[in-house]
Copies of this chain bind each other. A is one copy, B any other.
């Protein structure tokens, strides 16, 4: 449920904007509020993130999220891991596309017969 994809994206978004709300996070991640809340708690549970409720300049009553040292480490390694994952997907997709193209060519040939 808390995949590398969301680890990566959440750590990145929070580093860029520590005062982001869970609703805004959900919107940018294109997932529900409930899932966002779950992932966030999981990251805090793992010690990658901390939430402080220090009063922010202009915000209402929200948390300030920030990456722990462990969080920075994880962000670096999850980036690499996620990149490798995406590259494998890329290669698979490339092969799949080639195969569909091949099938389409064979379809055309059998049309001629």
Contacts and interface: CB of A to CB of B under 8 A. Distances in A.
Identical chains bound together, number: 2
Contacts of A100: 8, 79, 82-83, 86
How many chain A residues sit at the interface, stated as a range, is 20 to 34
Contacts of A97: 83, 86-87, 90
Interface in A78-96: 79-80, 82-83, 86-87, 89-90, 93-94, 96
A12 interface: yes
Interface stretch (A26-34, A50-58, A62-70, A101-109): A101-109
Contact of A94 (B80, B90, B104): B90
Nearest to A107: B76
15 contacts: A8-B100, A12-B103, A76-B107, A79-B103, A79-B104, A79-B107, A80-B104, A82-B100, A83-B97, A83-B101, A86-B97, A86-B100, A89-B93, A90-B93, A90-B97
Interface of A: 8, 12, 75-76, 79-80, 82-83, 86-87, 89-90, 93-94, 96-97, 100-101, 103-104, 107
